[in-house]
């Protein structure tokens, strides 16, 4: 199939959704309802900068589908984010929460800003203004934001505080908060931990030995750095890692704790003495068993997919692969575990955080991690079994399970 290179991220996700709707025989009306966001808001976010001048940023909150529960999804701060990308990410949240069977719908928010260029007080003011401007759409039983690229637990603390000034103490309004403010133990590491659990569980089916396999991780933010740390602690060999400025490679395996220290000091991966510098493009094409793209979207495309040498790709990032890149990898026999399964650990533990907040009760970290493992492993088994019984790729199976669950709930609610 020839796919135009002009497709937006939302059109790409909808191509996967449409293929799934065909397999599931959904009616045209239902497809239309599931494809398009239920509600979307664009807001101005004016901020008084430290030097006194005013800058006006653009913010979004897209609520893609609320059939299975309150909308759920992160808030991204990125200079290149636009409405189509937020729609794509919101739609992925709908299928992700359904796939791992959390009682949530899907949403995403964003502000078009480079957070590295703002001071902490500027980011605090920006976050508060954004929160006030979307305040009428969110609530613990309506829509619950969380961190995503460019945001973190501090951002969530500011959001909770701004919301609380209007509504009183409401920790369940956001997840991914600092533990001191009602965040869950294990939430920060959860996405990376989920990647690790999945690799261990799927290794046998994928015919790889997790201890001997050469693992390559693109991205050293929250997902990539935690995945690297936890996999290294389990005795795995991480041969390459990269950040925005490039990466490092060591065939014998990188000393990840030393790399974490180097990154903390220099905010950069290249230059680490325990490996040779490589570019992000080179890293993706390294000879390895497992490749984990855990950075930005659209990094595996029609252009480089023919040269990917990994046996297995675990998508830690959201939407790292274009549909063309995906088709090429499938044709070449590369097994791809899709983003909505692989990176679901974050929203799974967000769900545990929200339930703890609603009950004003704290779980031990071991309980959080064990429940995370059970939830992501159950979802993996469902994906694997459906892929095997229906002759589908893991991505097709994951989409079919998610889309089918949302479609069923729409029927049950009877609101059509
Ligand atoms: N931003 C994360 C994701 O894309 C987490 C969302 C959440 O916890 O609500 O899945």
**321 and 202, same structural domain?**
yes
**274 and 223, same structural domain?**
yes
Total domain count for the chain? 2
Contacts of residues 323-329 at CB distance under 8 Å and 24 or more positions apart, as own/partner, are 323/3, 323/7, 323/12, 323/15, 323/16, 324/3, 325/300, 325/301, 326/300, 326/393, 326/395, 327/1, 328/302, 329/300, 329/305
Identify which of 75, 110, 138, 147 to mutate to test ligand 1's pocket (most ligand atoms within 8 A of the CB). Answer: 147
Mean pLDDT of all residues in 381-394: 98
CATH code assigned at 106: 3.40.50.10860
Answer with the one of 141, 171, 201 that is the final residue of a domain. 171
CB of 318 within 6 A of ligand 1: the answer is yes
C-alpha of residue 284 to centroid of ligand 1, in Å: 24
Answer with the one of 142, 171, 200 that is the final residue of a domain. 171
C-alpha of residue 250 to centroid of ligand 1, in Å: 31
The residue annotated as part of the active site, out of 108, 177, 309, 311, is 108
Distance of CA 19 to the CA centre of its chain: 22
**324 and 228, same structural domain?**
yes
CB of 70 within 6 A of ligand 1: the answer is no
CB of 150 within 6 A of ligand 1: the answer is no
Closest ligand 1 atom to the C-alpha of 344? 10
Read out DSSP for 341-401? HHTTHHHHHHHHHHHHHHHT----HHHHHHHHHHHHHHHHHHHHHHHHHHT--HHHHHHHH
**242 and 149, same structural domain?**
no
Residue 108 is a catalytic residue: yes
CB of 72 within 6 A of ligand 1: the answer is yes
Domain assignment present for residue 323? The answer is yes
C-alpha of residue 149 to centroid of ligand 1, in Å: 9
Cα-based torsion angle of the residue sequence 225, 228, 230, 231 in order, rounded to the nearest 10 degrees: 170
Q: 237 to each of 107, 217, 334, how far by Cα in Å?
A: 36, 11, 20
Domain assignment present for residue 393? The answer is no
**252 and 315, same structural domain?**
yes
**310 and 197, same structural domain?**
yes
Residues 6+ apart with CB under 8 A from 277: 246, 247, 248, 249, 270, 271
Contacts of residues 263-267 at CB distance under 8 Å and 24 or more positions apart, as own/partner, are 263/220, 263/225
The widest CA-to-CA distance across the chain, in whole angstroms, is 62
Report the DSSP beta bridge partners of residue 75: 109, 147
Answer with the one of 337, 372, 406 that is the final residue of a domain. 337
CATH code assigned at 299: 3.40.50.720
Mean pLDDT of all residues in 136-158: 98
Domain assignment present for residue 317? The answer is yes
Identify which of 9, 68, 71, 74 to mutate to test ligand 1's pocket (most ligand atoms within 8 A of the CB). Answer: 74
pLDDT of residue 180: 97
Domain assignment present for residue 17? The answer is no
Considering only CA atoms, which of 167, 159, 129, 146 is closest in space to residue 46? 129
CB of 151 within 6 A of ligand 1: the answer is no
**320 and 202, same structural domain?**
yes
**92 and 58, same structural domain?**
yes
Domain assignment present for residue 209? The answer is yes
Mean pLDDT of all residues in 112-116: 98
pLDDT of residue 415: 73
Domain assignment present for residue 22? The answer is no
**81 and 165, same structural domain?**
yes
Domain assignment present for residue 368? The answer is no
Q: How far apart are CA 186 and CA 189, in angstroms?
A: 6
Domain range for residue 129?
Answer: 33-171
**267 and 199, same structural domain?**
yes
**246 and 112, same structural domain?**
no
pLDDT of residue 110: 98
Mean pLDDT of all residues in 202-222: 95
Domain assignment present for residue 103? The answer is yes
What share of the chain in percent tops pLDDT 90? 97
Atom 8 (ligand 1) nearest CA: 347
pLDDT of residue 416: 72
Considering only CA atoms, which of 316, 106, 364 is closest in space to residue 193? 316
Q: How far apart are CA 43 and CA 112, in angstroms?
A: 11
Q: Is the pLDDT of residue 73 over 90?
A: yes
CB of 194 within 6 A of ligand 1: the answer is no
At which residue do the structure tokens 């669950």 appear?
405
Q: How far apart are CA 213 and CA 357, in angstroms?
A: 40
Collapsed DSSP state (helix, strand, coil) of residue 139: strand
What are 26's two structure tokens?
Answer: 């959904």
**39 and 136, same structural domain?**
yes
pLDDT of residue 158: 98
Read off the pLDDT of residues 314-365 as tens digits, 9 standing for 90 and up: 999 999 999 999 999 999 999 999 999 999 999 999 999 999 999 999 999 9
């Amino acid at each position: 199939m020839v796919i135009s290179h002009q497709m937006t991220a939302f059109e790409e996700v909808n191509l996967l959704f449409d293929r799934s709707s065909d397999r599931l025989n959904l009616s045209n009306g239902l497809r239309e309802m599931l494809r398009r966001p239920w509600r979307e808001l664009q807001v101005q976010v004016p901020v008084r900068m430290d030097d006194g001048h005013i800058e006006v940023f653009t913010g979004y909150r897209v609520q893609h589908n609320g059939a299975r529960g309150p909308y759920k999804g992160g808030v991204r701060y990125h200079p290149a984010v636009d409405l189509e990308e937020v729609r794509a990410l919101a739609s992925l949240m709908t299928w992700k929460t359904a796939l791992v069977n959390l009682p949530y719908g899907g949403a995403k928010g964003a502000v078009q800003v480079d957070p590295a260029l703002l001071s902490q007080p500027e980011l605090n003011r920006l976050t508060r203004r954004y929160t006030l401007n979307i305040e009428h759409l969110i609530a613990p039983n309506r829509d619950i934001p969380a961190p995503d690229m460019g945001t973190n637990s501090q951002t969530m603390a500011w959001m909770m505080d701004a919301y609380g000034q209007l509504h009183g103490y409401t920790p369940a309004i956001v997840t991914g908060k600092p533990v001191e403010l009602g965040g869950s133990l294990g939430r920060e590491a959860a996405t990376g931990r989920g990647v690790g659990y999945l690799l261990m569980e799927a290794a046998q089916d994928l015919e790889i030995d997790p201890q001997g396999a050469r693992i390559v991780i693109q991205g050293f933010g929250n997902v990539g750095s935690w995945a690297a740390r936890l996999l290294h602690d389990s005795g795995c060999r991480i041969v390459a890692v990269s950040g925005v400025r490039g990466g490092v490679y060591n065939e014998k395996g990188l000393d990840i704790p030393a790399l974490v220290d180097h990154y903390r000091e220099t905010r950069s991966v290249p230059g680490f003495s325990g490996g040779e510098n490589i570019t992000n493009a080179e890293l993706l094409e390294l000879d390895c068993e497992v490749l984990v793209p855990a950075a930005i979207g659209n990094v595996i495309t029609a252009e480089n997919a023919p040269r990917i040498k990994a046996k297995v790709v675990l998508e830690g990032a959201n939407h790292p692969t274009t549909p063309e890149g995906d088709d090429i990898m499938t044709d070449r026999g590369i097994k791809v575990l899709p983003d909505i399964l692989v990176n679901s650990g974050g929203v799974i533990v967000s769900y545990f955080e929200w339930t703890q907040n609603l009950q004003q009760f704290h779980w031990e970290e071991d309980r959080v991690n064990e429940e995370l493992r059970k939830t992501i492993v159950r979802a993996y088994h469902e994906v694997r079994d459906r892929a095997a019984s229906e002759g589908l790729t893991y991505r097709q199976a994951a989409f079919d399970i998610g889309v089918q669950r949302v479609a069923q709930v729409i029927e049950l609610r009877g609101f059509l």
